[in-house]
Amino acid sequence: MKTAPIIDEDSKHRATSPARFKFWGVRGSIPSPGPGTVRYGGNTSCLEVRAGGEIIILDAGTGLRPLGRELMTEFKDRPFNLTLLLTHTHWDHIQGLPFFRPIYEPQCRLRILGYEGARKSLVNVLSGQMESPYFPVLFDELPGNVQIEELKELEFRVGSVRVQAWFANHPGICVGYRIFTDDGSVAFFPDNEPHTRLHKPLPVPKADGKAALDYALAQEEKMVGFIRGVDALILDSQFDAEEYKSHVGWGHGYVDYAVTLALKAGVKKLFLFHHDPDHDDTKVESMLAHARKLVAAQKASLQVDAAREGMVVELAAIAKQAAG
Ligand SMILES: [Zn+2]
Ligand SMILES: [Zn+2]
């Protein structure tokens, strides 16, 4: 198989552009198109980060498909490099991959990085969803230059961009990432439940209630330490507080908890993310208004927004707004 040499002529120009990110999919669990979700969007988890001359994609939910289309319009026949960081391999975080145009184009070089899938290796999980009963093109037949690598370390670099990973509280292996740029940092935790409902086995088997709670609170402190001072935190806020009561153990958070965590960690801007597929635009808006009310009641400076498909955010603008 012949692949084009990768000479990325645009990377110098991109290295000097301000760091920014764009939401391509903000929904959790399953795509939810329809008139009720037109404003915030129905595609599942996908974020594009541009920093230090790199194009870093977080998660391969169905939002990856329109991103692929735009990348092909941008690069056409020219060679380009992409890095895809996966938080975990639940459907809503990998389903866009078979429909991502660049993987069928030899001028694209894609590195997929992630931690081991729940029971199988990352390669097996990602190629498995393209096997014959599910999809017409086998992963091995892709003409593009796609590399899958399992991460072992919690800190690494994508080109000159420093990245850290930390474990989310979610069934199976699931991480969040923090990406450090010259203009500030962004942390991405699409799926995360309050630690008081633990998804990992306790280090002490049969620990009593107090030991279990202490352990949960210690885990939460670690999470707070990981996201401390981040400019943008994109965090699982699937439910409202009332709904959460009947979804304990599902692996997802709620708005009040997301605000508490962001305030504790001194985050500058919180983006509510992983919107419930049954929540229409009006519901997401009311959850956003509730989050802002909670912040105002604390007289805190935290900015809050609800992630919306197509929304572009410059990291430097967040810091400027926080200072002004
Ligand atoms: Zn999810
Ligand atoms: Zn998940």
Share of the chain above pLDDT 90, in %: 81
Share of the chain above pLDDT 70, in %: 92
* Residue 256, SS3 per DSSP: helix
Q: How far is the CA of 219 from the centre of ligand 1 (A)?
A: 21
Q: How far is the CA of 33 from the centre of ligand 2 (A)?
A: 20
Per-residue pLDDT tens over the stretch 31-88:
999 999 999 999 999 999 999 999 999 999 999 999 999 999 999 999 999 999 999 9
Q: Which ligand is nearest to the CA of 44?
A: 1
Q: Are 75 and 100 contacting, i.e. CB atoms less than 8 angstroms apart?
A: no
Low-confidence winner among 35-49, 140-154, 201-215 (lowest mean pLDDT): 201-215
Mean of pLDDT over the chain:
92
Q: How far is the CA of 191 from the centre of ligand 2 (A)?
A: 6
Instruction: Single out the residue of 85, 46, 303, 50 nearest to residue 181, CA to CA.
Output: 50
CA distance 97 to 317: 31
Is the pLDDT at 4 greater than 70? The verdict is: no
Q: Which ligand is nearest to the CA of 88?
A: 2
| Residues pairing with 273 in the sheet | 236
Q: Which ligand is nearest to the CA of 30?
A: 1
Question: Helix/strand/coil (H, E, C) string of 63-128?
Answer: CHHHHHHHHHHHHCCCCEEEEEECCCCCHHHCCCHHHCHHHHCCCEEEEEEECCCCCCCHHHHHHH
Q: How far is the CA of 92 from the centre of ligand 1 (A)?
A: 5
Q: How far is the CA of 199 from the centre of ligand 2 (A)?
A: 12
Residues 248-258 have a mean pLDDT of 95
CA distance 211 to 255: 27
Residue 160 tokens, joined? 């000159």
Q: How far is the CA of 47 from the centre of ligand 1 (A)?
A: 13
Q: How far is the CA of 106 from the centre of ligand 2 (A)?
A: 31
Q: Which ligand is nearest to the CA of 236?
A: 1
Residues 263-277 have a mean pLDDT of 98
Q: How far is the CA of 86 from the centre of ligand 1 (A)?
A: 11
Q: How far is the CA of 236 from the centre of ligand 1 (A)?
A: 8
Residues in the chain: 324
Q: pTM score, two decimals?
A: 0.93
Q: Which ligand is nearest to the CA of 93?
A: 1
Specify the pairing of strand 145-150 against strand 108-114.
Answer: parallel
Angle between helices 255-264 and 281-297 (to 10 degrees): 40
Per-residue pLDDT tens over the stretch 85-101:
999 999 999 999 999 99
- 3-state helix, strand and coil shares in percent for the chain, rounded to the nearest 5: 30, 25, 45
Is the pLDDT at 277 greater than 50? The verdict is: yes
Per-residue pLDDT tens over the stretch 179-205:
999 999 999 999 999 998 877 666 666
Q: Which ligand is nearest to the CA of 90?
A: 2
Residue 285 tokens, joined? 């808006």
Q: How far is the CA of 281 from the centre of ligand 2 (A)?
A: 22
What pLDDT shows up at residue 203? 65
CA distance 226 to 118: 23
Count each helix (H run) and each strand (E run) in the chain, helices first.
8, 14
What does the radius of gyration of the chain's CA atoms come to, in whole angstroms? 19
Exposed / middle / buried, residue 280 (Cβ in 10 Å: 0-12, 13-18, 19+): middle
Instruction: Give every CB contact of residue 96 below 8 A, 6+ residues apart in sequence.
Output: 25, 43, 44, 46, 60, 61, 62, 63, 64, 65, 68
Q: Which ligand is nearest to the CA of 59?
A: 1
Residue 148 tokens, joined? 């899958």
Q: How far is the CA of 305 from the centre of ligand 2 (A)?
A: 22
Q: How far is the CA of 274 from the centre of ligand 1 (A)?
A: 7
What pLDDT shows up at residue 271? 98
Q: How far is the CA of 190 from the centre of ligand 1 (A)?
A: 6
Which residues surround the ion ligand 2 when the cut-off is CB under 5 Å? Answer: 90, 191
Is the pLDDT at 11 greater than 60? The verdict is: no
What pLDDT shows up at residue 2? 45
Angle between helices 209-227 and 255-264 (to 10 degrees): 70
| Residues pairing with 178 in the sheet | 164, 187
What pLDDT shows up at residue 206? 63
Q: How far is the CA of 28 from the centre of ligand 1 (A)?
A: 5
